Structure 1
């Protein structure tokens, strides 16, 4: 093992000892020698099986040597990534019947699309939806009727929410079931070009719409490497997917067979199946370190600096940004997938995909091999690829070399020697920056601040020609407590255009910049946030700020006496109202700081020490 990976893992184990021990004790107490449904009163059990469409299913559930598998799904028609899940329950139930088990649809969880809500009021409910999904998952599994579970989810807050909830039922075996990406549409380069032309007024709205619909064009996950596809890599390298299953396209024979196999495999992990392996024994400190390594090696979404600490804590593991940054310093960037390159995830998969990445990272000592997975012990099982031979699913060893070195490289010949995630700290607070796609000449910016209280103000200033100069945009009151921490992805085209025109620009915010943040340096997740009295609330337009991603510093160059005398700006009164946002006010007030996952569960989970 690489010494830095060993060091971070060991301190994570030591720091988490009390909470991890308590978590495992809770899961041990929740487990039992037989199915929980055997202890239910007759009326409770009758309620639990009354809806079974098949009399055979009812009879099997009376026999405690048969497994009952919960299906928890984020299906809806509006998310292209989740539309294929419409058909998965029937596929799963039939596969389970064929092996003498039962599948019950235990519950649906909400699933919103950040792509639809970008720049709209609904985006302010996006991060909060992760917590709602966790709660919905817990409700779905609360009936104590189940021996195992399959979790169906892909996109931005959905997978983190599912695993947050699932880990509180970590005594159950579980497999996460992906749906796969849509086939490739127009190139990412073409899509980005039309977006910038529209931002400059050089393309019509009809031309923009035609371009977008040629990119997002069919069922399946969007093909750029944002949060949704980062989720898939993280889940697979944590051993929670079947090997090679993340990026198989929907509505294909291989996709359906992988779904059937997930159903069959989860029954093998139950007590009835004879190889009991609960979720709590898969998600441990080593698996969490592996997830962070995967994030860095692929130049993945900055949203995972919120999500991984949040779900790690649900397993009693206390991950920090410094742990993540220390790993980033030694984990090389192996993939160039949009927005870090021009390829999409289908190209990444064809080049060798997750299997090749696992192989080269294991060879370099950057991943823990001695971990549990849903396929058994050992991450080396994840160097294999699935195929159908004579109607049956088989796994073969994947490629030993990348099939396209412009997209995917070995750990010995990376695109960069580091993962590109850095912690920024200074008198403006503490945050993170992703530099995977930021050119070296743009990684240090010193310029006057232009202060905005929301992204619409910046967009208006751009359109009015007020930003044709060097500046650092300060967009504040965008943190979790202020307005739910919406992504500020709408700012990317405007700032990108200004950078292309030769201006030195950057973004500083207590909000999120999205898993698709790219070439403009963005100091994000600043904590403490402005609404909590953080330093951003004192910044004024014209103040000189220095963002130095190389040194990891973020400083405002204002005389100390003047700075101390300044009053805090107040949050605008009209935030958090309309489009249902007022229903989430209680949740916003309970959010933890960004470094602790911006979660409403942090305080409760910390109390379990």
Structure 2
């Protein structure tokens, strides 16, 4: 193993010894070699199988496992629309093994693509924790011996996992739906967005470009948070091998879904291959996730979500762990926004099988993790195929089919991974560098202070954003307004950079997983609403962001900054309407971004 990976893994294990032991003790106490539903009363059980139809005799007999399906299906969200058919397939697969399956419950699944820049985006991060709670409610009926979690997108997969980890004695398989076929090339979509930001393309032209990009059932094809989720499930061993990027509504996707249902029957406590989720997600699996995120230039949102997932499993990680892993891990992919290719091109060029094999060969991934398919991580590095309608797996390509998209560790795109920690007298923040050119990774420029996205955009429209500057957008943290993504700013800032200005963003909010080529220090802690130094900055303060050196600071000395009065943004208008008033308890109790932005005190 690479010494840095070993060091970080051992540090996490030491740091987490007490919390991990407590977690494992809790889940082991409830594990049972008999079907779980046998513990409940006859009246309880009768309610549980009253509507089970042909499965009622098997459920009543108390002899074979029963699978719980938790689904994030809705037909507005393109990535989740294909999930409509999955429960029926899983039930067929379960019956083929002599088992049963029931839809345990549904969870909400909002689309960040629909809510970007809108009031609803302020519910996005907290939706992760609502999903976790909904997953726990679904599984709380206590009649299931394993679970299949149907979800794909941004907060949904982390939320499903966090909820399921409260039932860590259950085996869990993640079941994705796959990406939509490729549409309008990403570079063309980005060009039209920039043109519209400058007033050079009409709304009609912009809508047509967007409609050609997002055009069919399946996940959006750029490498944002949704597809980073799928990468993580592969390197953590929670998918059947190679499941991540197979298109929906294809024979191969149908066979993978059937296989997931059948495999879940085989890994319950009633069989010989018991694989509980809580013991599958250990410190090695979490470090594998950090490595995968760095190697592929994945979404910065996982600097928050992975912390929350780990803590749900009794493991404590922080941004130092992520930074050290990223600096030890080469960048192996160029996927939009860190390139022009999409995940379909990536999958065709070698995909996750190639990436996992390369990282294993370099000693950067732990091979000896438990996986839902029964082998170690080496067996995850396989590609699913159909052989006369029979699902089988083959070894990944020996070398990339397109080295402009994915490469091996011997010739990476960059010697270090895609995410950095920056820190200094303003606090700690995350920077995604994989899409930022080296010459743009450092800036020293005056601050321009904004409290709302729209104020920055209006200043652009009024031609007030001249010269070099760092746009400071504060009051966007989890305690302030739920920490919305600020992707709406990306085209505007890219236009300014393309004009030759040196610009950057500093915020206590988030950017999208599709963050672009402008330097952005995000997730700043402490946030403005927690009396962070960002609330003491004024226009004209000289700010320094240096992603390579890991530096974030203000030229004003710290003592002077502390003596300045706080100038927090006005937030009352941000807390009502579009359901935001219902989330006041979450805003009041939420932890900071580096602790996972969780509203539960033990995770904060």
Structure 1 residues 214-243: Cα deviation after superposition (integer angstroms, max 9, x where no partner): 000000000000000000000111000000
Q: For the residues of structure 1 that align with 2:279 and 2:428, how far apart are their CA atoms?
A: 33
SS of aligned partner of 1:547: strand
Aligned to 1:585: 584
Q: How far apart, in 2, do the equivalents of 1:538 and 1:48 lie?
A: 57
Q: Distance in 2 between the 1:520 and 1:391 partners?
A: 47
Q: Which moved more, 1:264-273 or 1:556-565?
A: 556-565
Q: Is the 8 A contact 2:32 2:269 kept in 1?
A: no
- Measured after TM superposition, the shift of residue 562 of structure 1 is 4.1
Question: Could you list the per-position Cα deviations for residues 162-220 of structure 1 after superposition, in whole angstroms to 9, with x for gaps in the alignment?
Answer: 00001110100110000000000010000000000000000000000000000000000
Aligned partners of 2:561, 2:388: CA distance in 1, in Å? 72
Task: Please list, as runs of the form range in 1=range in 2, the aligned pairs for 1:32-47 lying within 5 A after superposition.
Answer: 32-47=32-47
Q: 1:525 aligns with which of 512, 523, 526?
A: 523
Runs of 4+ in 1 over 6 A off after TM superposition: none
Q: Compute the displacement of 1:570 (Å).
A: 2.9
For 2:68, the equivalent position in structure 1 comes to 70
Q: Which runs of 5+ in 1 are unaligned?
A: none
Shift of 1:97: 1.4
Unaligned runs of 5+ in 2: none
Q: How does 1:137-156 map to 2 (within 5 A)?
A: 137-156=135-154
Q: Could you list the per-position Cα deviations for residues 478-522 of structure 1 after superposition, in whole angstroms to 9, with x for gaps in the alignment? A: 000000000000000000000000000000000001111121000
Residues 533-572 of structure 1: pairs in structure 2 closer than 5 A = 533-559=531-557, 562-572=560-570
Query: What is the rounded CA distance, in whole Å, between the counterparts of 1:195 and 1:307 in structure 2?
Result: 28
Q: Is the 1:359–1:400 Cα contact (8 Å) retained in structure 2?
A: no
Equivalent-residue separation in structure 2 for 1:116 and 1:588 (angstroms): 22
Distance (Å, rounded) in 1 between the aligned partners of 2:119 and 2:526 = 23
Give the superposition deviation at 1:64: 2.6
Q: Aligned-pair distance for 1:274?
A: 2.5
Q: Which whole-Å deviations, capped at 9, do the CAs of 1:267-315 have from their partners, x for residues lacking one?
A: 1101333321111121000000001100011000000000001000000
- Aligned counterpart in structure 1 of residue 77 of structure 2, from 76, 79, 90: 79
After TM superposition, give the deviation of residue 466 of structure 1 in Å: 0.5
3-state secondary structure, aligned to 2:59? helix
Taking the aligned partners of 1:283 and 1:557, their CA distance within structure 2 comes to: 43
Following the alignment from structure 1 to structure 2, what is the Cα–Cα distance between the partners of residues 414 and 598?
A: 33
Q: How many angstroms apart in 2 are the aligned matches of 1:560 and 1:313?
A: 32
**Cα-to-partner distance string for 1:382-408 (whole Å, 9 max, x where unaligned):** 121111112211111111211110000
- Assess, with a 3 A threshold, how the Cα gap between structure 1 residues 274 and 63 changes in structure 2: closer, same or farther: farther
Distance 1:559 1:269, change over 3 A: closer
Contact 1:239–1:373 at 8 Å: present in 2 too? yes
**Structure-2 residue corresponding to 1:310:** 308
1:186-201 aligned at under 5 Å gives the runs 186-201=184-199
User: How do 1:28-427 residues align onto structure 2 when only pairs under 5 Å count?
Assistant: 28-54=28-54, 57-427=55-425
- Contact residue 112 and residue 154 of structure 2 kept, 8 A: yes
Supply the distance in 2 between the matched residues of 1:535 and 1:570 (Cα, whole angstroms).
Answer: 10
Partner of 1:11: 11
Contact 2:31–2:269 (Cα < 8 Å) also in 1: no
CA distance in 2, matches of 1:605, 1:423: 21
1-side partners of 2:326 and 2:39: how far apart?
48
Give, in whole Å, the separation in 2 of the partners of 1:321 and 1:449.
Answer: 25
Give me the whole-angstrom Cα distance separating, in 1, the residues matched to 2:31 and 2:411. 46
Residue 65 (structure 1) shift: 2.5
Closer/same/farther in 2, CA of residues 553 and 67 from structure 1, 3 Å limit: same
Give CA deviations for 1:76-117 in whole Å, capped at 9, x if unaligned.
011000000011111111121122111100000000000000
Decide which moves more: 474-483 or 584-593: 584-593
SS at match of 1:445: strand
Cα shift at 1:543: 1.1
Is 2:471–2:503's contact at 8 Å kept on the other side of the alignment?
A: yes
Within 5 A, what are the aligned runs for 1:447-466? Answer: 447-466=445-464
Deviations 1:395-429 (CA, angstroms, capped at 9, x unpaired): 11111211110000001110001002111111111
3-state DSSP of counterpart to 1:354? helix
Contact 1:188 1:344 in 2 (8 A): yes
Structure 1 pair 174–564 and aligned structure 2 pair: CA distance change class (3 A): closer
2:574 corresponds to which residue? 575
3-state SS in 2 of match to 1:424: strand
Q: Please, which moves more after superposition, 180-189 or 24-33?
A: 24-33
The worse-fitting range, judged by mean Cα deviation, of 545-554 and 145-154 is 545-554
Question: 1:523-552: per-residue Cα shift (whole Å, max 9, x none)?
Answer: 001101001100011111111111111211
* Number of aligned residues: 603
Alpha-carbon contact 1:179-1:250 (below 8 Å) kept: yes
Q: Which residue in the other structure is 1:22 paired with?
A: 22
* Partner secondary structure for residue 86 of structure 1: helix
Tell me if 1:502 matches 2:500.
yes
SS at match of 2:487: coil
Pairwise CA distance, 1:559: 5.0
SS state at 1:376 partner: coil
Partner SS, residue 105 of structure 2: strand
* SS of the residue 1:373 aligns to: coil
Backbone CA RMSD of aligned residues: 1.0
Residues 303-348 of structure 1: CA distance to partner in whole angstroms, max 9, x if unpaired? 0000001000000000110011000011000000000000000000
Q: CA deviation at 1:605?
A: 4.4
Question: Is the Cα–Cα contact under 8 Å of residues 65 and 272 in structure 1 kept in the other structure?
Answer: no
Q: Per-residue deviation at 1:58?
A: 1.0
Alpha-carbon offset, residue 62 of structure 1: 2.1
Distance 1:335 1:350 in 2: 13
- With the length of structure 1 as denominator, give the TM-score of the two structures: 0.98
Q: Distance in 2 between matches of 1:390 and 1:560?
A: 68
